[in-house]
Structure 1
Amino acid sequence: MVGLVRNWNSFSYYGKKVLFKLFPWTDELILKAKGNNAFLVFTTLVVIFAAPIAKAADIASAEIIDTEGTVIGMVTFEETPNGVLVYVEVSGIPPGGHGIHLHAVGSCDPDFKAAGGHINPDHAKHGLKNPEGPDNGDLPNLYAASDGSARAEFFTTRVSVYGNAMPALLDGDGSAVIIHENPDDHMTQPIGGAGGRIGCGIIQPL
């Protein structure tokens, strides 16, 4: 976790949100510090309390790259008693709606095709609107602003981080997040007409 927080001021909004959930009693301490001092306070607390906190929550993340290999954002997954919260923060994507799905293989090569299809062990139909769906990898659409930035918070009960009764994101061959060029209509097979893959991230333990 410490390696991700290179500079507290530039650390993502959703990254801070997740970390404050892990350290609820430290947010005031960190917020009162400035610049690199905030980073120092946070790092020290992580070193001291890392062991008990690691047991408190299952969290994974995926660094999102575009088709040129440039990092454009991050997706974070937080296990809760009722399902998984998904925090998305990306930039540099076309304005408008984009399908975003969870794919069955933790790979982004080549051209993001190695990520395979959706997580879907029961072979359900694709689509949040489909009476024979959805599959485990389906999520609501991500919407980018005119400047190409997008923030979202989703919730899903169809996966888990490590496999608590639902398919695990961190299973033997891993999983990936794929962002598509078009919005998902939540009905058309196999991906809701979402088009090409413009972003990919390999989901890894945090």
Structure 2
Amino acid sequence: MAEIVADRAFADAFAPEDEAIEAAREAAHQFGIPTVSPAVGAALAVAAASGPAASIIEIGTGTGVSGLWLLRGAPDAVLTSIDVDLDLHQVARTMFQRAGHPARRIRLITGSAAEVLPRMNEEAYDLVLVDADWSMVMDDVERAVRLARPGGSVLVPRVLQAGRTADPVRRDPEASAYRALLRSVRDRTDVVAGLSIVGDGLLHVVRR
């Protein structure tokens, strides 16, 4: 266990955050909402850069931490970010401006993914990040796969739930939801999926 903690700290230290991301992370702490770790943020940036991604959808804006990491990897991308909380969107908008991202490339939509995603164009996005309500993660990932273009990526952080997902004895709702998601994705033939233990787990799905 000590080795795992040390490895995670080392991975986080390997991914230094700029002033805008640090400010967004501090704002998230003040709101009491979780954020992706620096190491997971770096993995998001790598995924965005490897495309490279030109069009990105993020489910769960928060205060902008994950969005800023995605745009670090693909600074010329158009980011569409969805959240139910207007106050968080106002904070995130400030953080994107602080980082120097043009307003024309940031589209913040206030609403639930269930309401917004069906109105988006299918097979039109290079990368979709699903980081919102765990109780809707199965449906959100299904919608995300439809939105991703062939060869596009769907990313889902926090899928390991601090070891609870991997423990079949644990039956709490969050772990059960992510366990069901992983089984579902693993058995699909229309995607290629990989599970990384970076941070608290990062699921990476590529649409065939």
- TM-score when normalising by structure 1: 0.30
More helix by share: 2
Q: Which has the higher contact order (CA 8 A, sep 6+)?
A: 1
The structure number with the bigger radius of gyration is 1
